[in-house]
Copies of this chain bind each other. A is one copy, B any other.
Amino acid sequence: MDTITIKDIARALNLSTSTVSRALRDSYEINAETKRQVVEYAERLHYRPNPIAVSLKENRSRVIGVIVPQIANLFFSQVINGIEAVAYNRGYHVSIFQSHESYERELATVQQVVARKADGLLISLSSNTVDVSYLRQLQEKKLPIVLFDRASKDLDVPSVTADNFAGAFAATEHLIQMGRRRIAHVAIPASISIAQERLAGYRFALEKYGIPYDENLVRHAGFGPNEVEPIVNDLLIQSPDAFFAASDRLAIGCLATLKKWNIAIPGQIALIGFTNITVADLLDPPMTTVEQPALEIGQVAAGRLIDLIEGKQKTVSSDPVKIATRLVIRASTQAGL
């Protein structure tokens, strides 16, 4: 009754659907005058090709699916902005989904996205995803996939991440240079690839400066709402003189807990976050952070994916791309005591 189809045009102009279809796609074998008529009529009735029918026919959709653990996270939302910018420019639509850190939701969402014939997949793994075999299967079925931020060592898929090792190294080195020696590390769940990279950077810095690694100073925190506070409390028993938090959320949680105890920052304890929070310098005290180039990660990841989709990538070199981080020094890591 309302959406106008190619058939309607054909009927109205006394043509066949084939002719109309070809006229609309500007085929060489259609008379110029006929094309004009068709295009004009289509224009006038606001004809829009039905993408569902096209997808069914062509087995593709010009849509790329993006799956992140959480959208309410500035890092991911900025990555998405980067993705959209390049995807849009190159003629792709972007559909965004959340896994909510759940393997089941991630799996279901990916299946759905694939069933809807997305041309490619951009995904950051949920923290509860250990079994990535479903992604391997998709990969074997030639579905273009690019991982970002949270990659997986079990998967030979192109990935784009921040240089977490270097970032964590820089953070830890900075703390050491500011005279800290007992540096606690509040890490994200060990299942996530970047947790290990950041931990490694942390350890490497300690090693370089001859500080023994003390595993009592390292704790992993999950994504529960009140998980950070008890962990910080535990760590405080070890009398650290600095906290290195491995994410936005954790840094904020550390800050809140330390304040609760009336611990002077950086007087007694220095604090550094691994984050993208824009309000870092409005906090009390302004917080030193390792900034991840979220936007750029998104842009690069989307670019690689689309290259893959369009077959520009002859060599499917799945060498991971690492984007440099940036240490922004603020008050929370000044020399203390």
Question: How far is B173's CA from A291's CA once the two chains are assembled, in angstroms?
Answer: 39
Contact of A50 with B by CB under 8 A: yes
List residues of chain B with CB within 8 A of the CB of A73: 77
Please provide the chain A residues from 248 to 262 with a CB less than 8 Å away from any CB of chain B in the complex.
252, 255-256, 259
A117's nearest neighbour on chain B, judged by CB, is B52
Question: How far is B97's CA from A116's CA once the two chains are assembled, in angstroms?
Answer: 16
Please provide the chain A residues from 170 to 227 with a CB less than 8 Å away from any CB of chain B in the complex.
none
Contact of A285 with B by CB under 8 A: yes
Interface-side segment among A9-17, A78-86, A309-317: A78-86
List residues of chain B with CB within 8 A of the CB of A286: 284
List residues of chain B with CB within 8 A of the CB of A277: 279
Assembly of this chain: how many copies? Answer: 2
Contact of A337 with B by CB under 8 A: no
- Indicate with 1 or 0, residue by residue over A112-151, a CB within 8 angstroms of chain B CB atoms: 1001110000000000000000000000010000000000
Question: How far is B249's CA from A206's CA once the two chains are assembled, in angstroms?
Answer: 39
A281's nearest neighbour on chain B, judged by CB, is B256
A280's nearest neighbour on chain B, judged by CB, is B279
Q: Which of A53, A255, A279, A286 has the largest count of B CB atoms less than 10 A from its CB?
A: A279
- Indicate with 1 or 0, residue by residue over A261-295, a CB within 8 angstroms of chain B CB atoms: 00000000000000001110111111000000000
- Indicate with 1 or 0, residue by residue over A50-73, a CB within 8 angstroms of chain B CB atoms: 111101100000000000000111
A56's nearest neighbour on chain B, judged by CB, is B52
List residues of chain B with CB within 8 A of the CB of A141: 2
Shortest beta-carbon distance from A59 to chain B in Å: 9
Q: A96-B97, A282-B283 are in contact. List 15 more A-B contacts (CB 8 A).
A: A48-B115, A50-B115, A51-B112, A52-B56, A56-B56, A71-B96, A72-B78, A72-B81, A73-B77, A77-B77, A94-B97, A95-B97, A277-B279, A283-B283, A284-B285
List residues of chain B with CB within 8 A of the CB of A48: 111, 115
**B252 pairs with A51, CB closer than 8 A:** no
Shortest beta-carbon distance from A189 to chain B in Å: 20
**B112 pairs with A93, CB closer than 8 A:** yes
A109's nearest neighbour on chain B, judged by CB, is B93
Given contacts A56-B56, A259-B282, A279-B277, contact A51 B116 (CB under 8 A): yes
Question: How far is B162's CA from A127's CA once the two chains are assembled, in angstroms?
Answer: 33
The answer, among B56, B80, B93, B256, for a CB contact under 8 Å with A53, is: B56
Question: How far is B2's CA from A256's CA once the two chains are assembled, in angstroms?
Answer: 52
The 10 A-B residue pairs with the shortest CB-CB distance in the complex, in nearest-first order: A284-B284, A72-B77, A96-B96, A71-B77, A95-B95, A52-B56, A52-B55, A51-B115, A282-B283, A2-B141
Question: How far is B2's CA from A97's CA once the two chains are assembled, in angstroms?
Answer: 25
